[in-house]
Structure 1
C-alpha cells in the first residue's frame, strides 16, 4: 500500500487519539496489546526475551525517556517492523470494513435496487383494514449505480452474502409535512430474496394494510382532489430483523423518505357515463309498511380503464350525492343517496361500476332563490346541464351506509368529497314540431312612447309543440305553465324578440316510446298579447314583402329560453332556461289577397272641407281570407297615384277577424296638394275623373314614419313596399247591381222642349253635392253625336237618388244619332255621355271629366 493511500488514515487516527488521551490508553489496552502478544514470533539470535520485554514495555505513542533512549541506542529488528506493518494493515482493514464498506454497500443498495409492482389485489376487507396480495419483481441492477468504486464494492458484498431474509415486519408510513400524521401501516410476512446482481425475485405475499389517522387521509385526499397538492412527502419507519441464511444479522431501524411530485401522483381515470336512467319507483314510508309513495330512481353505469396494476373487489358502498350551493362558501346540498353494486376491478382492464340512486324529495335549500338573485341552486344546475355545459356534482361516502361496510372504511369515505364532472347535453333536436295557430296581432298603442312596452306589436295564438323526450327520462311529467324569451329570425337575420314574461297556462300529453321510436311530449299553450319587439324594421319589411308578393310561405326561426312549470313525483318543479329552437311557418298572403285588397266603401260622411282637401269618414267592408286576425289601435297610410301622394287614410281600434269584416270605420283625407300644388291637383283630378267614369282605377297605399307613431322606424321601413290595389267600390243606391255601379242612372230626353233630365245617385248619406256647370255631349254608339249640353247654373245633388233640373240640349239634327232618338220616341235607348263638370263640396271645388257608357235613356215629346 503506498504512502498516499495509508497516510490519510494514519493521520486521522493519530489526531483522534492525541485529542483524547483517555481514549488512546483504552485503545492501546483493548486492541494493541492483545494483538502484539498473540503475534510475537521466536527470535533466532537468542535475544527473544529481551526483545519481547522491550517491545511489551514500550507502548506505541509513549514518550518516556527510557523508550526514547532505547530507540536511539539500537535499531528496530526486522521481525518487529513486519509485525508493525501487518498490524497497521489489519487496523486499516478493520476501519475500512467497519466504516467505509457498509456505507458504500448502503449507497449501492439505494441506487441499484429495482422494485416493479406487477399486481396489487384485495383479498378481503377486514374490520381493521384490508388484506392485500402484493406481487412484484425485486432485483439489484448494478448499472444504475453511478460511482464505479461503490458499484464494485456493492457487487462484491452482495455476491458474498448471496441472499438475505427478513422476519415479520411492521411498516408505519407518516406524513412529515402534516405533523407526522400516521398515514397507515402494513404487516409484512417473512421474506427471502437473492441480492446478487441481476438476479430477479418474484415476490408474492399477503399483507395486512391498516389505515392510520382518518383526518390525515382526508386532508391529503381533499387537497389532491382540489388540485392543491403539488407534492407529498411520506416517511416509512420499520424495525427490520435481517438474517443471512440461518445467521441473524440483528435488528435494524430503517427510516426512508420519499417525495412524490404532482406530475407523478396518480390521477383520477377518465370515465364515461354509458347509462343514465331516471324512473319512478315506489318506496314505503317509515312506519307505514302498507303505504307507498313514489320517488325518483336513478340508474347509472360508469366505465373507466384501470391503467394501474391493481385488482380489487369493491363491496357495496353507500354514497351521498350533493350539488353546490349558491356560492363557493355555501355548504353543498344533499339531493340523493346512491349505492354501488359489488364491482370487480381488474388490473389494466376496463371497469364498469353500476349504481342505483334515490331522490325522495327536493330539499328546501335546493329550490330556494339565492340572495340577490331570482335563481336557485337547482336553476343554476339546470342552466348548465341544459346548455350542454359540464356541471359538477359532489360524491361523498355515507357515514352509516349499513350492510357489511367496515366502520373504518365508512369513516374515511364520509370525510372525502369527490367532485365529479357531469356532462350536459344538447337539446338542439328536441323540438320535433312547432306551430302557431289562431294567430291574432295587436298593433302598438299609438299614444305609447317608443321605449314603452306598449309600443310593441302584440301576438296572441296557440302554440303547439311536439318534443322528443331523452331516452334517460322514463317518468311521467305534466307541463302546467310556460314562459319564454324568444329571438325571432328570418333568413338568419334577427327580426325581433318575443317576450313572454308572464306565466302562460299550458297542458301536456305524454306518449310512450314506440318500438324503434322515442317517447314524445305534446305541449299546448295559449299565449295572450305577447309583445313582439321589432329590432330590425328592414327585416320586418322583407317578411311582409315575402308574404304579400312571394307567393309562398315564410319560415321564421325561433331561439328561446323557456321556463317550464312541471309536475313530477318529486312535486312541482320550475325548470328555467330550457333552450328551445323551432320554426314557425307563416302562410303566404299573395294568393288569397284579392278579397282583402278590394274593399267596398259605403256610408260616406264628409267631416270637413277646405279649398284643396276633403276630410271624410266611411264604412268599409273587407274579407280577410288569411288565417290571421288583428287588432289595430291606430294606423295611418298614404295613398298615391304614380308616385304622387294624394291623401291619407287612418283607422283606429280596428278588429280584423278571419272571413267577412263589415262596417269598419275608416277616416280619410283627400289632399292632392300633399304631392305638389300643381302636379298633385292634376294627378288627383285625373284619378277622380277615371273613377267616376267607371275605369278600372288603382291606387297605391304606402306607410310612412307616422303610420305607427310608437314605431316610426317600422313605418318608414315598410314604406319601401309598393302595395297597389283597386280603388274601393262605392256603394251607390239603386235597385240592382248594375245600377249601383253608375253615378248617372238614366236620362229622359224631351224633343219639343229640347231638354234632358238625368237621374243621379250620390254616395253621400248626409252631405249635399253641388254641380256648378255642365258641358256635355250625348253620343249614340260611342261615336254618333246626338246633341250637346252647356249649363252654368249650379244645382244640388242631395244624398241618395235625385233628378237634375231640365238641362237645355242643342240637337245635331243632321246626325245619325238624332235619327235614332226620333226612332226611340216613346221608348228607351242606350246612349253615352261625355262631359266636363264642375263640382263643389263645401269649400272644395274641382273640375272633372266624365264619360258614361250604356246609359238608359227615355225619349218623350
Structure 2
C-alpha cells in the first residue's frame, strides 16, 4: 500500500507555517470509508479533494473527536439547499412581477423597424397583395433606464428568438366609431431578440380594404383641414414561440397617433406636357397631358388604368361641384425614391349652363373665377373624383374608394403677361366731354374711337380653333412710366380674328381687329397729359404711349362661346407729333357773321368758320369755351358746340364769340378798341386762343392741362360782298366828291348779313399822296350801314384850300384819283357802342363838279 492509502481521508490539521505528515500515527486509526449514515447525499457540491502527500494538522494538539466530524458533514447540504430554494423563489418573483414589465419597456424602446421596400405584387378583388421588406433589430442603447436595459438584454439573450404563426391584423379608427379601416394577413415570422442583431423581413401580405365610408370620411376631413390627428388601433391574436418552446396565444393591441402634418400629402408635381385640341365630335375637346412627381417613399407598385371626373367649384362652397371633363390615366409604374411619370387623357364635352351662368349677385360665373386665377398665374383648384362609371377592369373596391373621395388638386396657373405682342391704334377720333352730363356718366369724359389691331401669341399647346368675336377692356394709359389716364371700354366692341401659323420655332399668332367707338378716356394726371400735348405740338419724334389693360374677350370654340375675363395685356401706341406749322395751317376763315346779343360794353356774335385740319386725327366737340387774348388781356371768349372736326377742310363750323374787353381789366376796352381798329383798317392782327379752367365744364384735370397751352391765329378776314376771294379788305368800296357843293358820299360794304351797323359820329380826313390833306368831314348825325353795299348820305366836306391835295382834287373834276382816309367814328351795333379809328389807303374817289 502506498503512503496515500496509509493516510486517513480527513486527517486532522494543525495551524502552523508548514504542513507535515506525523510518522507516529497508525494506519488503522481512521477507516477508509465512513458509514452510510454519516455520508451526505449528492447535491452537486463535493468536499475539496485532499492531496495524498499532504496531512492537515488540527489546530489543537489532540486529535478531533468523532462528534465534531459528524456535525460538519450535516451543515453543507443544508446551506446549499436553502440557497437554491431562495434563488428559485427570487427568480419566480422577478420573472413573475419584475421582468415582464421591464422586458416590455425594453422592447418598446429598443425596437427599431426600418421599412426598406413596399411593393404591390398584385391587385385582388378585395384588396392588394403587397410585398413588404424591412429590417428589425433591438438597439439597447435607445433605452434610457439602466436597470431596464440590463434586464432586457439578459432576457432577450436567453430567449434568443421569437416566432409567430400566421396572423391577421385588424386596424380600427377609434375616433370614427371604431370602424374597421382594413385588415392584413401576415405570414409566420421569426425575429432575433439579441441586441444589435438585424432580422431582415421579406414576405407577402394580403391586405383587404375595410369600411369604404370610413375611408371617405377620413380622407375628406384630412383634405378639408379638419383632421389634426389620426388615431389608429391595431389588434391581433399572436401565437408565439421561442425556439421549440410554445409561448401560447396572446392578444396584442397597440395604438398609433399620426399628426396631420405627418400624414403623407399629395406630392408636388410638374406638368411636362399639356396639349388641347378639337375633339372628333362637335362640341368636344381632347386634353393630353403628362405629369411628373417624385416618389419620396420606399414604395413600389403598378397602378392600373383609372377613370376620373374633373370638376370645379360652384358659385358657393355649399353648391355641388360642376363636372367639366372626364379623364383616364394610363398604367403607372411607381418605383421607390424616384420620379414617376403619368399620362392623362381627358375629354371635355359641351360646357354645362351651371358653369357659364353668372352667380347670384355677381357678374362672374364659376368658369370666370377659375380662369381668372389661372390667367393671373395663381394656382387654380380643380377637384378630382373617381368616375361614377369606371372601366370594367377596375376592381370594385378601388372604384368605390375613388368615387367616394374628392381631392382638390392645384392646377398651376399660367400668367398671360406678354401674350399681347403688338398693339396699335389707327384712325383715331376724339370726342370731348359733354359738359351737361352727370359726373358718373361716361359722356362726362373725353372719348376715343379708333381701329385696334392686336397681335397675340398663342400658347403652343392650344391647338384648337378659336375666333375672337367681341372685346372690352379697362386700360391704363402711361407716358414715360407715369399714368396719364384710364381708357374704359365698358361696352362690348365687335371684333374678328385670324390665326396665323408661326414660322420655324415661333408659335402661332392670333391677329385681332376691332373698331372701338367712343371709349371714355379719363385724364387722371394733368401734368402728364400736358407733357403729351407739348410733345405732340412741339416735338419732332413720335411719342409712345404704353397701355396696360385687362381685356375681356368673347371667343367661339368647339365648346361654344366662352368669355375670358381680365386677360392681362400690354401694348404700345406710337403717336406721331403734329407736323411743323400745323397751327398756322389751320387758316380759319369767316363765312358769315351775325349779332345775337349785345350790351353797351359787350356783344355776342355767331360766325360760320371754315378751318383746315392738317392732322390725322378727328374730333367731336360737344362744348368748348376758350378765352380770346391780346396783349395779355382777355378781350372775350369763343365757344364751339356740337361740332365734328374731320381731317382736311371743315366748312361752316358755328362759332359763338362774346366780345367784352372791359371785363378782364379797365384797360381792356382800350386794347380791344385798338385791335378792332387795326383789323378794320386791314392791318395784320392776331389773337390768342387760350383754354382756361372751365374750358370743358366738369373736367378740371383736363382743363388744368389744356390751360398751359395757347395758340395764336391771324384774325381771319371777313368776306365782303362782291369780293369772293376775300382779299379786298376795304370797308369803303369807293367815294364820290361833289366839288361845288362841298359834299361827299361813300359806298360802304358791311360784312354783316343779318344786322345793320349804325355810325353815330364821323370825323374823317382825306389825304392825297398819303400825306397831303384834301379835306375834312365832320358829321354827327347817325346813319345806317345795312348788310351788303350801301351809300352814305352826303357828308359835308371842309376843303383844305391851298393845299396840294385840294389842287389835286380840283384838277380831277370829272375824273378819278386815289385817296387815303383816316377817320374816327362812333359805331353802334345793337346796344353795343364803341369809338373806333379807321385808316384806308388807295380808295378810289370820283370827283364831280356838282
| TM-score, length of structure 2 as denominator length | 0.83
User: Structure 2 matches for 1:349-498, cutoff 5 A?
Assistant: 349-491=338-480, 493-498=482-487
- In 2, the alpha carbon distance for the partners of 1:165 and 1:854 equals 139
Query: Is 1:723–2:721 an aligned residue pair?
Result: no
State the secondary structure of the residue aligned to 1:778: strand
Query: Is 1:44–2:37 an aligned residue pair?
Result: yes
Alpha-carbon shift at residue 810 of structure 1 (Å): 4.4
Q: Judging changes above 3 Å, is the alpha-carbon distance between structure 1 residues 83 and 608 closer, same or farther for their aligned structure 2 residues?
A: closer
- Contact 2:768–2:818, Cα closer than 8 Å, also in 1: no
Alpha-carbon shift at residue 462 of structure 1 (Å): 3.0
Which residue is equivalent to 1:698? 686
Greater CA drift, 166-175 or 492-501: 492-501
Q: Pick the aligned partner of 1:707 from 695, 704, 714.
A: 695
Alpha-carbon shift at residue 504 of structure 1 (Å): 2.8
Alpha-carbon shift at residue 344 of structure 1 (Å): 1.9
Alpha-carbon shift at residue 143 of structure 1 (Å): 0.8
Structure number with the higher helix fraction is 1
Q: Pick the aligned partner of 1:155 from 153, 172, 176.
A: 153
User: Structure 2 matches for 1:679-828, cutoff 5 A?
Assistant: 679-704=667-692, 706-711=694-699, 714-715=702-703, 718-735=706-723, 737=725, 739-745=727-733, 759-771=747-759, 772-776=761-765, 778=767, 780=769, 784-785=771-772, 787-793=774-780, 795-802=783-790, 808=797, 810=799
- In 2, the alpha carbon distance for the partners of 1:524 and 1:368 equals 27
Q: Judging changes above 3 Å, is the alpha-carbon distance between structure 1 residues 171 and 591 closer, same or farther for their aligned structure 2 residues?
A: same
- In 1, the alpha carbon distance for the partners of 2:457 and 2:814 equals 84
- Contact 1:595–1:625, Cα closer than 8 Å, also in 2: no
- The alignment covers a number of residue pairs equal to 781
- Contact 1:734–1:740, Cα closer than 8 Å, also in 2: no
Greater CA drift, 576-585 or 324-333: 576-585
Q: Pick the aligned partner of 2:490 from 501, 506, 513.
A: 501
- Contact 1:786–1:812, Cα closer than 8 Å, also in 2: no
Q: Pick the aligned partner of 2:109 from 108, 111, 120.
A: 111
- In 1, the alpha carbon distance for the partners of 2:452 and 2:473 equals 12
State the secondary structure of the residue aligned to 2:106: helix
State the secondary structure of the residue aligned to 1:371: coil
Which residue is equivalent to 1:637? 626
Alpha-carbon shift at residue 113 of structure 1 (Å): 1.6
State the secondary structure of the residue aligned to 1:707: coil
Q: Pick the aligned partner of 2:612 from 616, 620, 623.
A: 623
- In 2, the alpha carbon distance for the partners of 1:738 and 1:258 equals 107
Which residue is equivalent to 1:175? 173
State the secondary structure of the residue aligned to 2:280: strand
- Contact 1:697–1:726, Cα closer than 8 Å, also in 2: yes
Which residue is equivalent to 1:59? none
RMSD: 3.4
User: Structure 2 matches for 1:118-517, cutoff 5 A?
Assistant: 118-283=116-281, 293-491=282-480, 493-517=482-506
State the secondary structure of the residue aligned to 2:316: coil
Q: Judging changes above 3 Å, is the alpha-carbon distance between structure 1 residues 834 and 275 closer, same or farther for their aligned structure 2 residues?
A: farther
- In 1, the alpha carbon distance for the partners of 2:342 and 2:567 equals 31
- In 2, the alpha carbon distance for the partners of 1:122 and 1:742 equals 112
- In 1, the alpha carbon distance for the partners of 2:440 and 2:291 equals 53
State the secondary structure of the residue aligned to 1:740: coil
State the secondary structure of the residue aligned to 2:394: coil
Measured against aligned partners, the alpha-carbon deviations of 1:788-810 in whole angstroms (never above 9, x if no partner) come to 53433555444334555577474
State the secondary structure of the residue aligned to 1:622: strand
Greater CA drift, 216-225 or 164-173: 164-173
User: Structure 2 matches for 1:546-625, cutoff 5 A?
Assistant: 546-551=535-540, 553-589=542-578, 591=580, 593-594=582-583, 597-625=586-614
- In 2, the alpha carbon distance for the partners of 1:403 and 1:223 equals 30
Which residue is equivalent to 2:11? none
Q: Judging changes above 3 Å, is the alpha-carbon distance between structure 1 residues 110 and 537 closer, same or farther for their aligned structure 2 residues?
A: same
Q: Judging changes above 3 Å, is the alpha-carbon distance between structure 1 residues 681 and 513 closer, same or farther for their aligned structure 2 residues?
A: same
Gaps of 5+ in 1: 1-41, 49-76, 284-292
- Contact 1:777–1:833, Cα closer than 8 Å, also in 2: yes
Q: Judging changes above 3 Å, is the alpha-carbon distance between structure 1 residues 567 and 603 closer, same or farther for their aligned structure 2 residues?
A: same
Measured against aligned partners, the alpha-carbon deviations of 1:583-639 in whole angstroms (never above 9, x if no partner) come to 444443463633664210122122333322222222111112223333333332221
Which residue is equivalent to 1:848? 836
Alpha-carbon shift at residue 506 of structure 1 (Å): 2.3
Gaps of 5+ in 2: 1-34, 42-73
Which residue is equivalent to 1:86? 84
Alpha-carbon shift at residue 320 of structure 1 (Å): 1.0
Structure with greater Cα Rg: 2
Alpha-carbon shift at residue 487 of structure 1 (Å): 4.3
- In 1, the alpha carbon distance for the partners of 2:810 and 2:506 equals 89
Measured against aligned partners, the alpha-carbon deviations of 1:698-732 in whole angstroms (never above 9, x if no partner) come to 21223345533454664466334333222222222
- In 2, the alpha carbon distance for the partners of 1:739 and 1:363 equals 75
Measured against aligned partners, the alpha-carbon deviations of 1:548-603 in whole angstroms (never above 9, x if no partner) come to 34455554444443333221111122333333343444443463633664210122
State the secondary structure of the residue aligned to 2:370: helix
Greater CA drift, 565-574 or 734-743: 734-743
Alpha-carbon shift at residue 175 of structure 1 (Å): 1.9
| TM-score, length of structure 1 as denominator length | 0.82
- Contact 1:131–1:206, Cα closer than 8 Å, also in 2: yes
- In 1, the alpha carbon distance for the partners of 2:458 and 2:198 equals 60
Q: Judging changes above 3 Å, is the alpha-carbon distance between structure 1 residues 318 and 810 closer, same or farther for their aligned structure 2 residues?
A: same
Measured against aligned partners, the alpha-carbon deviations of 1:520-558 in whole angstroms (never above 9, x if no partner) come to 222223333444445556655554444334455554444
Which residue is equivalent to 2:5? none
- In 2, the alpha carbon distance for the partners of 1:785 and 1:464 equals 72
State the secondary structure of the residue aligned to 1:325: coil
State the secondary structure of the residue aligned to 2:279: strand
- In 2, the alpha carbon distance for the partners of 1:255 and 1:712 equals 83
Q: Judging changes above 3 Å, is the alpha-carbon distance between structure 1 residues 552 and 642 closer, same or farther for their aligned structure 2 residues?
A: farther
